[in-house]
Amino acid sequence: MQRLLEVMAALRDPQRGCPWDRQQTYRTILPYTLEEVYEVAEAIEQNDMAALREELGDLLFQIVFYAQMAKEAGEFDFADVAQEIGDKLVQRHPHVFADADIADAEAQTSAWEQHKARERHAKAAAEQRDPSVLDNVPQALPGLMRAMKLQRRAARVGFDWPDVEPVLAKIEEELAEVREVMANGADPDKLAHEVGDLIFACVNLGRHAGVEPETAVRGVNRRFENRFRRVEQLARQQNQTLARLSLEEMETLWDQAKAEEATAREN
């Protein structure tokens, strides 16, 4: 860890450092940080431990980068970051580091959320504003992930349907509203509004069904890509290109790709 910190400091050295690293700011490296997070997720989903080790290193480098820039500005350094997260984990786990008694994982989750709620209230008081159960849900999260977090927060105070049936009814209602807007000229702003409501309702379905929407979408993206690439291969085997095939012919190839995928899973 010390070697990594020294390497980072050398990269940012005003006289002898790397020109690219020296000119970076918090904002300019943010896109790289988000990219690294998703590359970690991809390595985990593919169960590729060699890739995971590499991507975790890349993600750690991002953290070290931020800490070095903060150190140069006299704000904090990497040791402060490590100290703060260590303190936070100890405070949030009194059943491990103190004498609190937590029966099981469900009770721990409840205690964790109560502790975070107290932290949010304390922060709101320090900022002289009214607290909200929706405080500190980052705006920069991917849309599906943020929708899920907002819904979970609201559900903690009882703003939730008791089971999945009303959620399914809500999806049908939102789909009908999308159809109505499209039938009346498909005003872009109204259509975006109604499609957003439909997607939000589908996220709610995922939450009630115990499915993480972001994970589900990544999965369907992966399946679509694999099947579509296979459709392209099948077309080439027939000395065809997709642009020259009808939709019905492409759907036939798509069904073949799906069947091959199902056979591979069974084997």
Residues 88 and 99 in one domain: no
- On the question of pLDDT at 105 being above 80, the answer is no
In order of 82, 143, 146, 267, the CA distances from 139 in angstroms are 24, 9, 8, 44
What pLDDT shows up at residue 208? Answer: 96
Tell me if 138 is assigned to some domain.
no
What pLDDT shows up at residue 125? Answer: 76
Residues 122 and 147 in one domain: no
Percent of the chain residues past pLDDT 70, beyond the cut: 96
Tell me if 87 is assigned to some domain.
yes
Residues 85 and 101 in one domain: no
Tell me if 221 is assigned to some domain.
yes
Tell me if 169 is assigned to some domain.
yes
> How far, in Å, CA of 209 to CA of 168, rounded?
11
Average pLDDT, the chain: 91
Domain end call among 164, 183, 211: 211
Tell me if 131 is assigned to some domain.
no
Residues 150 and 200 in one domain: yes
- On the question of pLDDT at 119 being above 90, the answer is no
- pLDDT tens digits for 142-164? 899 999 999 999 998 899 999 99
What pLDDT shows up at residue 266? Answer: 83
Residues 20 and 61 in one domain: yes
- On the question of pLDDT at 95 being above 90, the answer is no
Tell me if 113 is assigned to some domain.
yes
Residues 173 and 187 in one domain: yes
User: CATH code at 153?
Assistant: 1.10.287.1080
Those residues with Cβ within 8 angstroms of residue 18's Cβ, 6 or more apart along the chain or in another chain: 11, 12
> How far, in Å, CA of 38 to CA of 218, rounded?
10
Tell me if 223 is assigned to some domain.
yes
Range of the structural domain that residue 231 is part of: 215-266
Number of domains in the chain: 4
**Long-range CB pairs of 197-205, under 8 A, 24+ apart, other chains included:** 198/171, 198/174, 199/143, 199/144, 199/147, 200/147, 201/167, 201/170, 201/171, 201/173, 201/174, 202/171, 203/144, 203/147, 203/148, 203/151, 204/151, 204/161, 204/167, 204/170, 205/164, 205/167, 205/168, 205/171
Question: Is residue 153 within 8 Å of 133, Cβ to Cβ?
Answer: yes
What pLDDT shows up at residue 96? Answer: 84
- On the question of pLDDT at 252 being above 80, the answer is yes
Tell me if 136 is assigned to some domain.
no
Local confidence band at 15 (pLDDT 50, 70, 90 cut-offs): very high
Burial (CB count <10 Å: 0-12, 13-18, 19+), residue 149: middle
DSSP 123: H
Residues 174 and 198 in one domain: yes
- pLDDT tens digits for 122-133? 777 777 778 888
